[in-house]
Chains A and B, each alone.
Chain A
Amino acid sequence: MPWWWKSLFRKRALDTQLNSEIRFHIDELTDANVAAGMSLEEARRRAVLEFGGGEQIKEDLRDVHRVAIVETTLANLKSALRFLRKSPSFSMTVILTLALGIGANSAVFSAIDAILLRPLPFPNGDQLMKLSQHYVKANGVPTVVAPVRLEDWNRMNSTFQAMTGYYTENSSETSGTLPEKLSEAFVTQRFLQVWGVSPALGRDFSPEEEHVGGPSAVLISDRFWRNRFEASQDVLGKKLRIGNRSLSIIGVMPASFLFPERDVDLWSAVPVDAPIAQNRRWTWYKVIGRLKPGVTLTQAQANLAAVQAQLGRAYPETDKDLAVEIKALKEMTVGESRGSLWMLFASVTLLLLIACTNIVTLLLARATQRQHEIAVRFSLGASRSAIVTQLLTEVFVLAFFGATLGLFVAAGTSKVFRSLASGLPRVEEIRLDWRVMLYALACTIVATLLCGLVPAIRGSSRTLSGSLAQANRTQVSGRNRLQWLLVGTQVALAVTLLAGAGLLFRSLRALGQVSPGFDASRVLTFRISGSYGETADWEKLSQRIEQSVEVLGKLPGVEAAATTGDDLPGVPQHYPTELEFVEGEQDPEHKIVAESRFVSPSFFSTMQIPLLAGQGCRDPLLVPKSTPADLTGMRHVDVTRIEVLVNRSFAATYAPGSTAVGRHLSVQGLAFLKPEQAGEIRGIVGDAREEGMNHEPSPTVYWCMSASGPDPFYIVRTHSAQPLTMAGTLRQKIQEIEPGRSVFGITPLEELIDDAFAENRMRTVLLTFFAATAVSLACIGLYGTLSYSVNVRQREVGLRLALGALRGQITKQFLLQGLRVTLVGCAAGWVLALACSRILSGMLYGVSPSDVVTLSSVVLLVIIVAMVASLVPAVRAARLDPMRVLREE
Chain B
Amino acid sequence: MAVDRSDLLQGTLDMLILKIVALGPVHGYGISQRIQQVSREVLQVQQGSLYPALHRLEKRGWLAATWGESESGRQAKFYRLSAKGRKQLQLEESQWNRLAEAIALVLRSAS
Residues from chain A with a CB closer than 8 A to the CB of B32 are 25
Partner of A28 from B1, B29, B59 at Cβ < 8 Å: B29
Partner of A25 from B46, B47, B56 at Cβ < 8 Å: B47
Residue contact A24 to B27, C-beta cutoff 8 Å:
yes
Complex CA distance for A28 and B71, rounded to whole angstroms: 10
| Shortest beta-carbon distance from B99 to chain A in Å | 26
Residue of A nearest to B3 (CB): A60
Complex CA distance for A63 and B52, rounded to whole angstroms: 9
| Shortest beta-carbon distance from A444 to chain B in Å | 32
Residue contact A53 to B48, C-beta cutoff 8 Å:
yes
Is B55's CB within 8 Å of the partner chain A? yes
Within 8 A of A (CB), among B1-33: 1-2, 27-29, 32
Residue contact A64 to B59, C-beta cutoff 8 Å:
yes
| Shortest beta-carbon distance from B44 to chain A in Å | 10
Is B34's CB within 8 Å of the partner chain A? no
Residue of B nearest to A29 (CB): B29
The stretch from A14-22, A198-206, A551-559 touching chain B is A14-22
Contact A61 B72, CB 8 Å, known A3-B59, A24-B29, A25-B28: no
Residues from chain A with a CB closer than 8 A to the CB of B70 are 24, 28
Residues from chain B with a CB closer than 8 A to the CB of A17 are 77
Is B74's CB within 8 Å of the partner chain A? yes
Residue contact B48 to A64, C-beta cutoff 8 Å:
no
Residue of B nearest to A56 (CB): B48
Contact A57 B48, CB 8 Å, known A24-B29, A24-B77, A64-B59: yes
Q: Could you give, for residues 55-85 of chain B, a 1 whenever the CB lies within 8 Å of some chain A CB and a 0 otherwise?
A: 1100100000000001010111100000000
Contact A25 B29, CB 8 Å, known A20-B75, A57-B47, A65-B59: yes
| Shortest beta-carbon distance from B11 to chain A in Å | 17
Residues from chain A with a CB closer than 8 A to the CB of B96 are none
Residues from chain A with a CB closer than 8 A to the CB of B46 are 52
Partner of A52 from B48, B59, B74, B77 at Cβ < 8 Å: B48
Residue contact B48 to A28, C-beta cutoff 8 Å:
no
Q: Could you give, for residues 49-80 of chain A, a 1 whenever the CB lies within 8 Å of some chain B CB and a 0 otherwise?
A: 00111001100110111000000000000000
| Shortest beta-carbon distance from B84 to chain A in Å | 15
Residue of A nearest to B75 (CB): A20
Residue contact B48 to A21, C-beta cutoff 8 Å:
no
**Residue in B28, B55, B74, B77 whose Cβ sees the most chain A Cβ within 10 Å:** B55
Contact A24 B48, CB 8 Å, known A29-B29, A60-B1, A64-B56: no
Complex CA distance for A61 and B56, rounded to whole angstroms: 9
Residues from chain A with a CB closer than 8 A to the CB of B47 are 25, 51-52, 57
Complex CA distance for A22 and B55, rounded to whole angstroms: 13
Complex CA distance for A25 and B75, rounded to whole angstroms: 11
Residues from chain B with a CB closer than 8 A to the CB of A64 are 52, 55-56, 59
Residue contact A31 to B72, C-beta cutoff 8 Å:
yes
| Shortest beta-carbon distance from A21 to chain B in Å | 5
B contact residues, range: 20 to 34
Residues from chain B with a CB closer than 8 A to the CB of A24 are 27-29, 70, 74-77
Residue of A nearest to B57 (CB): A64
Contact A60 B72, CB 8 Å, known A25-B28, A52-B46: no
Residue of B nearest to A64 (CB): B55
Complex CA distance for A21 and B56, rounded to whole angstroms: 15
Is A851's CB within 8 Å of the partner chain B? no
Residues from chain B with a CB closer than 8 A to the CB of A65 are 55, 59
Residues from chain A with a CB closer than 8 A to the CB of B56 are 64
Is A27's CB within 8 Å of the partner chain B? yes
Residues from chain B with a CB closer than 8 A to the CB of A57 are 47-48, 51-52
| Shortest beta-carbon distance from B72 to chain A in Å | 6
Residues from chain B with a CB closer than 8 A to the CB of A3 are 59
Residues from chain A with a CB closer than 8 A to the CB of B74 are 24, 27-28
Residue contact A61 to B55, C-beta cutoff 8 Å:
yes
Contact A61 B76, CB 8 Å, known A21-B28, A24-B29: no
Q: Could you give, for residues 25-42 of chain A, a 1 whenever the CB lies within 8 Å of some chain B CB and a 0 otherwise?
A: 101110100000000000
Q: Could you give, for residues 227-241 of chain A, a 1 whenever the CB lies within 8 Å of some chain B CB and a 0 otherwise?
A: 000000000000000
Residue contact B48 to A60, C-beta cutoff 8 Å:
yes
| Shortest beta-carbon distance from B87 to chain A in Å | 20
Residue contact B72 to A28, C-beta cutoff 8 Å:
yes
| Shortest beta-carbon distance from B76 to chain A in Å | 5
Residue of B nearest to A60 (CB): B52
Residues from chain A with a CB closer than 8 A to the CB of B72 are 27-28, 31
| Shortest beta-carbon distance from B27 to chain A in Å | 7
| Shortest beta-carbon distance from A362 to chain B in Å | 41
Within 8 A of B (CB), among A708-761: none
Residue of B nearest to A63 (CB): B1
| Shortest beta-carbon distance from B42 to chain A in Å | 18
| Shortest beta-carbon distance from A14 to chain B in Å | 10
Residue of B nearest to A32 (CB): B33
Residue contact B48 to A61, C-beta cutoff 8 Å:
no
Residue contact A60 to B2, C-beta cutoff 8 Å:
yes
**Residue in A25, A56, A65 whose Cβ sees the most chain B Cβ within 10 Å:** A25
| Shortest beta-carbon distance from A733 to chain B in Å | 90
Complex CA distance for A20 and B74, rounded to whole angstroms: 10
Residues from chain B with a CB closer than 8 A to the CB of A60 are 1-2, 48, 51-52
Q: Could you give, for residues 396-438 of chain A, a 1 whenever the CB lies within 8 Å of some chain B CB and a 0 otherwise?
A: 0000000000000000000000000000000000000000000
**Residue in A17, A56, A57, A63 whose Cβ sees the most chain B Cβ within 10 Å:** A57
**Residue in A20, A21, A27, A29 whose Cβ sees the most chain B Cβ within 10 Å:** A21
| Shortest beta-carbon distance from A663 to chain B in Å | 92
Q: Could you give, for residues 35-54 of chain B, a 1 whenever the CB lies within 8 Å of some chain A CB and a 0 otherwise?
A: 00000000000111001100
| Shortest beta-carbon distance from A501 to chain B in Å | 57
Residues from chain B with a CB closer than 8 A to the CB of A22 are 51
Complex CA distance for A56 and B56, rounded to whole angstroms: 16
Complex CA distance for A25 and B77, rounded to whole angstroms: 10
Residue of A nearest to B28 (CB): A25
| Shortest beta-carbon distance from A156 to chain B in Å | 67
Q: Could you give, for residues 194-219 of chain A, a 1 whenever the CB lies within 8 Å of some chain B CB and a 0 otherwise?
A: 00000000000000000000000000
Residues from chain A with a CB closer than 8 A to the CB of B77 are 17, 20-21, 24
Residues from chain A with a CB closer than 8 A to the CB of B48 are 52-53, 56-57, 60
Complex CA distance for A65 and B28, rounded to whole angstroms: 17
| Shortest beta-carbon distance from A562 to chain B in Å | 87
Residue of A nearest to B32 (CB): A25
Complex CA distance for A51 and B46, rounded to whole angstroms: 8
Complex CA distance for A56 and B48, rounded to whole angstroms: 8
Residues from chain A with a CB closer than 8 A to the CB of B29 are 24-25, 28-29
Within 8 A of B (CB), among A54-113: 56-57, 60-61, 63-65
**Residue in B46, B72, B76 whose Cβ sees the most chain A Cβ within 10 Å:** B76
Complex CA distance for A274 and B96, rounded to whole angstroms: 101
Residue of B nearest to A31 (CB): B72
| Shortest beta-carbon distance from A19 to chain B in Å | 11
| Shortest beta-carbon distance from B83 to chain A in Å | 18
| Shortest beta-carbon distance from A55 to chain B in Å | 11
Complex CA distance for A636 and B1, rounded to whole angstroms: 108
| Shortest beta-carbon distance from A699 to chain B in Å | 79
Residue of A nearest to B46 (CB): A52
Residue of B nearest to A53 (CB): B48
Residues from chain B with a CB closer than 8 A to the CB of A20 are 75, 77
Cross-chain pairs A/B with CB under 8 angstroms, 21 sampled: A20-B75, A21-B28, A24-B75, A24-B76, A24-B77, A25-B32, A28-B29, A31-B72, A51-B47, A52-B46, A56-B2, A57-B48, A57-B52, A60-B2, A60-B51, A61-B51, A61-B52, A63-B52, A64-B52, A65-B55, A65-B59
List the 4 shortest-distance A-B pairs measured between CB atoms, nearest first.
A28-B29, A64-B55, A25-B29, A60-B52
Given contacts A25-B28, A53-B48, 8 further A-B contacts (CB under 8 A): A21-B76, A24-B75, A25-B27, A25-B32, A31-B72, A52-B46, A52-B48, A61-B55
Name B's A-contacting residues (CB within 8 A): 1-2, 27-29, 32, 46-48, 51-52, 55-56, 59, 70, 72, 74-77
